[in-house]
Chain A
Amino acid sequence: MKRFGFLSWALLFGYAFLYVPIALLIVFSFNESRLVTVWSGFSTKWYAELLHNDALLDAAFLSFQVAAVSATLSVLLGTCAGLALTRFGRFRGRTLFGGMITAPLVMPEVITGLSLLLLFVAMEQWLGWPDGRGVTTITIAHTTFTMSYVAVVIQSRLAGMDGSLEEAAMDLGARPAKVFFVITLPLIAPALVAGWLLAFTLSLDDVVVASFVSGPGSTTLPMVIFSSVKFGISPQINALATLMVLVVATGIFVASIVMARQERQRKRDEQMAIQNG
């Protein structure tokens, strides 16, 4: 459909809507003046300031820590959950389990944050652990709500996989656990990676839940950004934004090139097979 019709304009508008704000962010990160709305010359001074902003850098380090740990835990738990929901048929308590997995996907963050904080406070009262709020509580909170997203990703990959592969392995004598590690796991590996990245991003981006369950000395990057943004524009944030966009864009670019290359190789293999067969 070569006509540039309504649909193409709609698509273009949509992309513009999504990307113009990001583009403006990047442009004004190089702005000489503090104003984020009038261009007054090219400068990279905000980047320099950013690199000396200790509070921000500390918060960033903390956030990365929390994100990495919670993403890993989340993948472990989410894979178990996704496996159970797709492959285990009907088991007792499945409805409740399914409900608990899908609910965090839509639960407003304020509710999640409040409820987890109240839990931690109560636990501290009754059990003595966790001792104050900090990295541990934030990590637990993030794991809990990102686990659902990972479960959804794993579920969809498992559902799309040929179930008879696992049956064939069992038929040839492999016990269920062996089947999982030798057959299922290698085949869902891309979904595990995608799930980890998703959980990592969600954790890195969360401000509401972290605000509820963090304690003194455990300020995350989003929390710092949030408080500085509330007070107005700060070009350092623009610089930070540009860096983040750069990292993400590079990552996605590299990933898509790798995948495209794999796809081309696969097509070539299939062609060869058809010719030789």
Chain B
Amino acid sequence: MAGQPIRKPTRLEPWQDAGQTPYVRIEKVTKTFGDFVAVDEVSLSIYRNEFFALLGGSGSGKTTLLRMLAGFEQPTEGKIYIDGVDMAGIPPYERPVNMMFQSYALFPHMTVEQNVAFGLKQDGVAKAEIRDRVAEMLAMVQLSAFGKRRPHQLSGGQRQRVALARSLVKRPKLLLLDEPLGALDKKLRERTQFELVNIQEKLGVTFIVVTHDQEEAMTMSSRIAVMNHGVIAQVGTPTEIYEYPHNRFVAEFIGSINMFDGRVVSTEGDQVLVASEEAGCELLIAHATPAPAGSPVSVAIRPEKIALSKEPLAGGDGRNQTTGIVREIAYLGDVSIYLVQLPTGKTVRVTAPNVTRRTEMPITWEDEVTLTWRPFAGVVLTQ
């Protein structure tokens, strides 16, 4: 996965601070189109200066929610407050919000400068000031030389930057971005991810981004809301979402996961002991939310948290370890993905960095291996 951009060491986490009022408040918003429920009683608080991501697959309702924030759709039920003001019935041209469209929506019959100046013209800003601000924006996105060109004379990446400049020139407090990196190729995408984060921090604008790309969300955002069929599955920082998923959906949606079904044997403080037939062993999970004995749960363990070894583990109480046979190895250069089949038939996915070179790999197909993991590697899920 792409590395995280360098952030300032002391990170503000306004959502933790009880004294902070959210800049955007979405309260029990529902949107129905006839019989179809696109957004189902969603509530969300987004704070100033956040880089917030709405992450989900198609049909998850994320785009509908964004459009309601922009004013292109009205909620069927519920309220939306931006900066404390109720947005009910307020049309898009009267909201303190700007949007960057997935298709960029650049006006084809206007030059780059005219596109960027458009929003300022609507506000009746003086000509001289328009000129200055447009020049400032174009410089920021490194397109100063392209001012007189028309959209069809620009490449995809350049068009995206014009769209960005156009949406930021009015210095909105809130910027909505609909799949901003979708149309870019991989290299450009990585570069633009960094640029977006830097611009956001420099200008102090709150960004709300809609994306289906988890890597994008994890890289750029301060917090992510994972959406599924119109409801929010979980809201949290990238770390929280990845390491502590609240339910199966989030666990399976982000990255890869191994799920072991079992029953709770006992609970001691925040340590939960689960017996799993699938895993062929007992799993002891630390820092887990307690669950009553006997209840059916799933234990979710990330592939990189499982250790692979050809030698059986000496000692141990048989917990958090099991054996299996290596069926598939996918060599990715920096890591290898092993698919290990347990005697119970279950396939476990393990990722291990290639510390040694490929030709000197100790583990190969059909090897019998021992899988082990630490107690705090797993998460107990009841949903």
Interface residues of A (CB under 8 A from B): 162, 164-165, 167-175, 178, 183, 186-187, 266, 269-270, 272-274, 276-277
Contacts and interface: CB of A to CB of B under 8 A. Distances in A.
Contact of B152 (A165, A266, A276, A277): A266
Contacts of A171: 70-71, 92-93, 97-99, 167
A273 B149 CA distance: 10
A170 B156 contact: no
A168, A171, A266, A272: which has the most chain B beta carbons within 10 Å? A171
Given A165-B105, A187-B108, A273-B149, 7 more contacts: A164-B103, A167-B92, A170-B92, A170-B93, A171-B70, A171-B97, A269-B150
Contacts of B156: 277
B98, B109, B122, B157: which has the most chain A beta carbons within 10 Å? B122
Interface string B88-103: 0001110001110111
A136 to B, nearest CB: 38
Contacts of A183: 107
B158 interface: yes
B364 interface: no
Contacts of B149: 273
Contacts of A178: 122
Contacts of B152: 266, 269-270, 273
B253 interface: no
A165 B105 CA distance: 5
Given A171-B70, A266-B152, A164 B92 contact: no
Interface residues of B, number: 32
B101 A168 contact: yes
Contacts of A274: 155
Contacts of B155: 273-274, 276-277
A174 B93 contact: yes
A162 B103 CA distance: 9
Contacts of B72: 167, 170
B72 to A, nearest CB: 6
A276 B122 CA distance: 32
B211 to A, nearest CB: 17
A159 to B, nearest CB: 16
Given A174-B93, A273-B154, A277-B157, A168 B99 contact: yes
A164 B158 contact: no
Q: Is the interface of A mostly helix, strand, loop or mixed?
A: helix
B105 A162 contact: yes
A211 B102 CA distance: 54
Interface of B: 70-72, 91-93, 97-99, 101-103, 105, 107-109, 118-119, 122-123, 149-150, 152-158, 166-167, 170
A167 B101 contact: yes
A162 B108 CA distance: 11
Nearest to A186: B109
A174 B93 CA distance: 6
A187 B105 CA distance: 13
Given A164-B105, A165-B105, A165-B107, A172 B153 contact: no
A171 B157 CA distance: 22
B122 A164 contact: no
A269 B153 contact: yes
Contacts of B98: 171-172
A277 B154 contact: yes
A173 B72 CA distance: 13
Given A172-B170, A276-B155, A277-B155, A167 B119 contact: no
A173 B172 CA distance: 12
A175 B103 contact: no
A172 B70 contact: no
A178 B118 CA distance: 12
A186 B97 CA distance: 26
B93 A173 contact: yes
Closest 6 CB pairs of A and B: A277-B155, A173-B122, A172-B119, A168-B105, A164-B105, A269-B153
Nearest to A268: B153
30 contacts: A164-B102, A164-B103, A165-B105, A165-B108, A167-B99, A167-B101, A167-B105, A168-B99, A168-B166, A169-B107, A169-B118, A170-B91, A170-B93, A171-B97, A172-B170, A173-B93, A173-B119, A173-B122, A174-B93, A174-B118, A175-B93, A183-B107, A186-B109, A187-B108, A272-B153, A273-B154, A274-B155, A277-B154, A277-B155, A277-B158
